[in-house]
Amino acid sequence: MSTDIDTAHRHVDTKPVDAVAIRFCGDSGDGMQLTGGLFTNTAALFGNDIATFPDFPAEIRAPRGTTFGVSGFQVQFASTDIFTPGDAVNALVAMNPAGFKTNIMDVEPGGIVIVNEDEFNKGNFKKCGYEESYDPLDDDELNRRYQIVRVPMTRLTRESLTDSGMGAKDVDRCRNMYALGIVCWLYDRPLDPTIRFLDNFFGKKKDKPEIAAANIKALKSGFFFGETAELFPVRYQVARARLDPGKYRKISGNEATALGFVTAAAKANKQLVYASYPITPASDVLHTLSRLKRYGVTTFQAEDEISAVCAAIGASFAGQLALTGTSGPGLALKGEGIGLAVMLEVPLVVIDVQRAGPSTGMPTKTEQADLLMALWGRPGESPCIVVAPRSPSDCFDMAIEAFRLAVRCMCPVIYLSDGYIANGAEPWRLPDLDAIEPIQIEHPSETNNPDGTFLPYKRDPKTLARPWAIPGTEGLEHRLGGLEKEAETGNVSYDAENHDQMSRTRAAKVLKAADIIPPLEVRGPESADALLLGWGGTYGTITTAGDELRDAGYSVSTAHLRYLSPFPKNLPDVLGRFKTIIVPEINLGQLLKVIRANFLVDAVGINEMRGKMFRIADLVDKTVQIIGR
Amino acid sequence: MHHTQLPTYKPKDFATDQDVRWCPGCGDYAILKAVQKTLPTLGRRKEDYVFVSGIGCAARFPYYMDTYGLHSIHGRAPAFATGIKLANPALDVWLVSGDGDLLSIGGNHTMHTLRRNVDINILLLNNRIYGLTKGQYSPTSEFGKKTKSTPVGSPDYPVNPLSWAIGGGCTFVARSIDIDVLHLEKVMARAAAHRGTSFVEVYQDCNIYNHQTWFYASQKKTRPDSTIQLEHSKPMIFGADSDNGLQMDGTRLKVVELSNGVSEDDLLVHDETDRGLAFMLTQLSFPEFPEPLGVIYASTEQETYDHVVHEQARQVIEEHGKGDLYKLLNEGETWVVEDE
């Protein structure tokens, strides 16, 4: 294949660019996620830095041609270090009018818009709410604003596959590969990785070599069309990025989460028991882990969210690394169970892949509005450790951190991912497994009281953790429960002094986790006019905004919290070194409240609730407004 | 850790130093005693027992057993028990809770545990009332029952726990009563020996909020005529003078007198492996019928959930070998960035 391409006659100039953001959009049945994913693979394997943003409706197959059935996939690939999928789309591929209508406003002025012209007909205009008589492709203003490139993809795909022997429906399913071929030509990316995938997936795994062949034919036809049709005055080329040396793969946040927890279990020399109930956008963690039985993983698809957290606590009591995972609505249901784990003082990790709420909200859209629930959403004084990965690959590291802390402190850890990093992907430099510290676990086998009895709540003075004695151990039989515990003996106690002391001890124990939490790092000057302080999935956007602000001459630094309870010990010191603390969050000001309350700092929020990531440009503008006033 | 020789346990080895705080006269005392007497006969190590409960009077049970124990939250005990078995299938898990905990707030979890056939023993202490919250009606309270929360009578029809368990796919269903410790021990030993979920309903008296709810079945005088002791392969005889029996009449059961030409040979013979018959038996209620006690249903045909889960893992490892974490992380397409 590659020889065909290499020897093909090129008569178009190539223009080098640092970074390109492409968005593929179409019906949710058009295969846009696959198309975007394959282009991402191609760019990653070529050596570009990448960041992706898949955006799809909750409806599996919404009525064809409607705006609410539009599925999109954005990828930015670059020759420089990038942190986000990009604000403005440089090139849009719209497979139908609905995709065009819902995405065109995100394209930069002058941007390329490649459309499947065959789908731009009266029937489809009506379905997506355009006037029947209005053809957006003929709109003068749109044509002035964008380079609209019309390609009759349906017809051309059909023509290229006339000899395939396949039915019309199957032939039309290859249109996305035709589109991908055009894009690969336009951005000078090789077809080999996609051909390899199609051969493996359709040819070998699904045993449909004819489907593989047809898709490959469509892909190549699209590529050759790009080359011969002279629709594009120029091709673009994005050079390899200078990433740190090492071996890389592409990884999404949910994949990294699953792999991180498997690695944690291996480092702890334990089985991983994952109990979960399917929920968007966390289900992929269950899917991934359920395939990893060979790696010491047991998965349990529970009857509901409550059962999932309770089964995990049971597994923890019985001595394995116990994990449950969900999204916001499920975290609410798990609250009582997590409170029990606080009382039992057993290690437990709870994944919350946050989505837009409240209630069912917008299941496939991202948000950061579960922070206060994670911190306080349980009856009574119920302290938990809360951590938040900041990017897809960071999910791996924070998953290991979550268990390290849960086991050390014998308490629940809530791991706040979000839809944006869970589904987004980036290059991941593969870790050196030997360099990851083992997770030390000690199960006592001897009694700890001179009189020969076992005291299940006798604490380690260093960590304040109680011993993790597990069933099956002779002589250490003990009872745990949700009723308040007497210090040391763990017997039921209604004593006033005891309850006061135990409540304070549980809180102090969580604070002690800060002993092993790394200090907060500042990017930019150690002291400046303003600090952009974020947490979770906004890392890439805030970091990029901060870099742009500094490039523009503003005195701004950024810092990103991966540990939200307890905070890194140096946080008060960092806060004190900046005139203004700005907290951008995809909520209405949750970390902001905590920072203001805990540190008496007059911090200011930048808040959006749009179900998607900030635009870098908006963050920059709003920061300038705040600093300026 | 384990010594090779199994220690000889006595019932008191399973008692804790905690004061038992049930009301004097509560039926739970007898059940606790029966459990403490049964465990030493089962040939298992004390440290391998885990008692799990939810919330309610009955759910205090683990505090009084000197084994591992987990007094959890309302209704969720079956989920904790399932998690314990997933983590360590070698443990012997007993779940003790009441009718409110297991059938109302925890009905969902109980049902799914039964259908999965998790290898645990469930003791449902059924007193047909909420005791710990001081006297509201429960899901097993009779229709029309007047309680604190139903001053003019309960508008709910009660659930029949054993019919529900059989409908839910439970593989072992039995019934006993708090005043008959010997019978309790016999049934518990059978339940313990069963592989899979065993579900034992125990008629239990709450002498404060629902005293004598099982009066007919618990009094020496009325018991023989109001209950029937089931034994596998034995004809279904009951009554003070063993002069009554159960017979099939078309598709239904009927009570017959053992005279007038009806002999033992004409009676229905109990077959505890017959699920349809078991369902019919659980439907019998006094005064129209005697209520069955003993093992109503016991099937060994179904594998246990914990066995299936662990067997799946074992097979995958047998076929493909133990997973290599390095290979897992390096899966899919990778690329190398060289030092420049």
- Gap between the Cα atoms of A467 and A185, Å rounded: 62
Q: What residues contact A286, with CB distance under 8 A and at least 6 apart?
A: A274, A276, A278, A299, A301, A325
Check A262 against B325: CB less than 8 A apart: yes
Residue of B nearest to A43 (CA): B335
Q: What is the pLDDT of residues B222-278, one digit of tens each?
A: 999 999 999 999 999 999 999 999 999 999 999 999 987 899 999 999 999 999 999
* 349-388 of A, contacting B, C-beta below 8 A: none
Q: What residues contact A432, with CB distance under 8 A and at least 6 apart?
A: none
Residue in B67, B71, B91 nearest the CB of A477: B67
Asked if A257 reaches chain B (Cβ–Cβ under 8 Å), the answer is no
Check A248 against B334: CB less than 8 A apart: yes
Instruction: Quote the pLDDT of residue A7.
Output: 42
Asked if A322 reaches chain B (Cβ–Cβ under 8 Å), the answer is yes
Q: Helices A394-409 and A496-512: crossing angle, nearest 10°?
A: 150
- Gap between the Cα atoms of A604 and A580, Å rounded: 8
Asked if A456 reaches chain B (Cβ–Cβ under 8 Å), the answer is no
Asked if A311 reaches chain B (Cβ–Cβ under 8 Å), the answer is yes
Check B76 against A250: CB less than 8 A apart: no
* 118-147 of A, contacting B, C-beta below 8 A: none
Q: What residues contact A206, with CB distance under 8 A and at least 6 apart?
A: none
Place of tokens 């270090």: A81
Residue of B nearest to A324 (CA): B83
Q: Closest Cα of chain B to A349: distance in Å?
A: 14
Mean per-residue pLDDT pooled into runs of 10, chain A (629 residues) = 45 88 94 95 94 86 88 95 94 97 96 97 94 93 96 97 92 96 96 95 93 96 92 91 92 97 98 98 97 98 98 98 98 98 98 97 96 97 98 98 98 98 95 97 97 97 98 97 97 97 98 98 98 98 97 97 98 98 98 98 97 95 91
Q: Is the peptide bond before A358 cis (omega within 30 degrees of 0)?
A: yes
Check A310 against B62: CB less than 8 A apart: no
- Gap between the Cα atoms of A527 and A580, Å rounded: 11
Residue of B nearest to A469 (CA): B68
- Which of A46, A261, A294 to mutate to test binding with chain B, by most B CBs within 10 Å of its CB? A294
* 556-585 of A, contacting B, C-beta below 8 A: none
**Structure-block tokens of residue A296:** 């010491």
**Structure-block tokens of residue B94:** 């007993």
Using an 8 Å CB-CB cutoff, list chain B residues near A308. Answer: 79
Residue in B66, B68, B79 nearest the CB of A471: B68
- Gap between the Cα atoms of B319 and B313, Å rounded: 10
Tell me the ipTM for this assembly: 0.97
Check A249 against B16: CB less than 8 A apart: no
Phi and psi at A616, nearest 5°, equal: -55, -45
Helix-strand-coil split of chain B, %, nearest 5: 35, 20, 45
How many beta carbons lie within 10 A of that of residue A60, not counting itself?
9
Assign B1 a pLDDT band (cuts: 50, 70, 90): very low
Check B47 against A250: CB less than 8 A apart: no
Q: Tell me: pLDDT of B212 over 90.
A: yes
Phi and psi at A183, nearest 5°, equal: -65, -40
Q: Closest Cα of chain B to A479: distance in Å?
A: 4
Asked if A502 reaches chain B (Cβ–Cβ under 8 Å), the answer is no
Residue in A336, A431, A479 nearest the CB of B62: A479
Helix-strand-coil split of chain A, %, nearest 5: 40, 20, 35
Instruction: Quote the pLDDT of residue A504.
Output: 98
Residue of B nearest to A310 (CA): B80
Check A303 against B112: CB less than 8 A apart: yes
Residue of A nearest to B59 (CA): A481
Using an 8 Å CB-CB cutoff, list chain B residues near A271. Answer: 87
Asked if A183 reaches chain B (Cβ–Cβ under 8 Å), the answer is no
Instruction: Quote the pLDDT of residue B340.
Output: 66
- Which of A81, A273, A477 to mutate to test binding with chain B, by most B CBs within 10 Å of its CB? A477
CA A103 from chain centre, in angstroms, equals 22
Q: What angle do CA A51, A53, A57 make, to 5 degrees?
A: 170
Check A471 against B84: CB less than 8 A apart: yes
Check A471 against B62: CB less than 8 A apart: no
- Which of A248, A297, A479 to mutate to test binding with chain B, by most B CBs within 10 Å of its CB? A479
**Structure-block tokens of residue A359:** 């209630």
Please report, for residues B88, B116, B324, the alpha-carbon distance to residue B196 in angstroms, rounded to integers and kept in the order given: 15, 9, 33
Check B87 against A271: CB less than 8 A apart: yes
Residue in A266, A336, A477 nearest the CB of B68: A477
Please report, for residues A111, A149, A180, A183, the alpha-carbon distance to residue A226 in angstroms, rounded to integers and kept in the order given: 17, 11, 10, 8
Asked if A271 reaches chain B (Cβ–Cβ under 8 Å), the answer is yes
Q: What residues contact A389, with CB distance under 8 A and at least 6 apart?
A: A253, A256, A257, A395, A397, A398, A399, A415, A416, A417, A421, A536, A537, A562
Check A472 against B90: CB less than 8 A apart: yes
Query: Left (φ > 0), alpha (ψ -120 to 50) or beta: where does A464 sit?
Result: left
**Structure-block tokens of residue A64:** 């064809």
CA dihedral (B250, B256, B258, B260) positive or negative: negative
Using an 8 Å CB-CB cutoff, list chain B residues near A317. Answer: 70, 80, 83-84, 87
Residue of B nearest to A396 (CA): B329
Residue of B nearest to A249 (CA): B334
Using an 8 Å CB-CB cutoff, list chain A residues near B71. Answer: 479-483
What SS3 state is found at A573? helix
Query: Left (φ > 0), alpha (ψ -120 to 50) or beta: where does B65 sit?
Result: beta
Instruction: Quote the pLDDT of residue B150.
Output: 96
Using an 8 Å CB-CB cutoff, list chain A residues near B316. Answer: 293-294
Instruction: Quote the pLDDT of residue A629.
Output: 57
Residue in A47, A344, A472 nearest the CB of B47: A472
Using an 8 Å CB-CB cutoff, list chain A residues near B323. Answer: 292, 294-296
Q: Helices A175-186 and A32-46: crossing angle, nearest 10°?
A: 30
Check A249 against B323: CB less than 8 A apart: no
Please report, for residues A343, B76, B138, B163, the alpha-carbon distance to residue B72 in angstroms, rounded to integers and kept in the order given: 10, 7, 20, 26
What SS3 state is found at A177? helix
Instruction: Quote the pLDDT of residue A13.
Output: 86
**Structure-block tokens of residue B192:** 């313990």
Q: Closest Cα of chain B to A561: distance in Å?
A: 26
**Structure-block tokens of residue B286:** 């006094």
